[in-house]
Structure 1
């Protein structure tokens, strides 16, 4: 899940283009006008470019997700096999080490919810 932020993340191609223009001696303000980005973004790209590998973003800090892609596939496979499986049985059958709430949150995010019959 991507973080919600008001900041813009520029593509590696655009970052490389900005840095190369800086290396050619073009002023930061002119680069900003040509690329359509703020002068502060240009200076930040130039400052971080030597640290970043291949002009890609550095890894974000934070806790890694509890459910791996493999776990998610197993859950979907079990639900397809038995659509009325309980969450407890789903956790046991998939061999997951997560809480019921974590599983329910992911299922809701995926749009898999139990609709009671009226």
Structure 2
């Protein structure tokens, strides 16, 4: 009916008053008709999101509350709600709000007892050496792997480090 009035030459204001609908609605409908030749609701673009807003907010709350929670745990919590989503989807949702680094904690200590004993033995062995001894050392270092060898006056000082 609004379309017919527009075709008849009536302006936006007159159509708006005649049909008792807002002027902006009349403008939008006529614009749609001019562009697409129809006034029916067109199909939306793009794929609908897998995570609903409610579940996404719950995930973010959960991850912020417990920083060490794993993606697998978060995935299980979404499955309980009834939305099964991939770990990558959860990771993306967290990254969008600035939550990064869902990494499991280290399972093994950096220094084992054997390392500690070896370090202590090394320290005790060279504790009494004078300052001049340390000044005559030459350390060969590989930027990628660390010290290769420690040389003292032409002989290998620390053979276990040499390759």
The TM-score with structure 2 as length reference comes to 0.37
Normalized per residue, the structure richer in strand is 2
The TM-score with structure 1 as length reference comes to 0.48
Which structure is higher in RCO with an 8 Å CA cutoff and minimum separation 6?
1
Normalized per residue, the structure richer in helix is 1
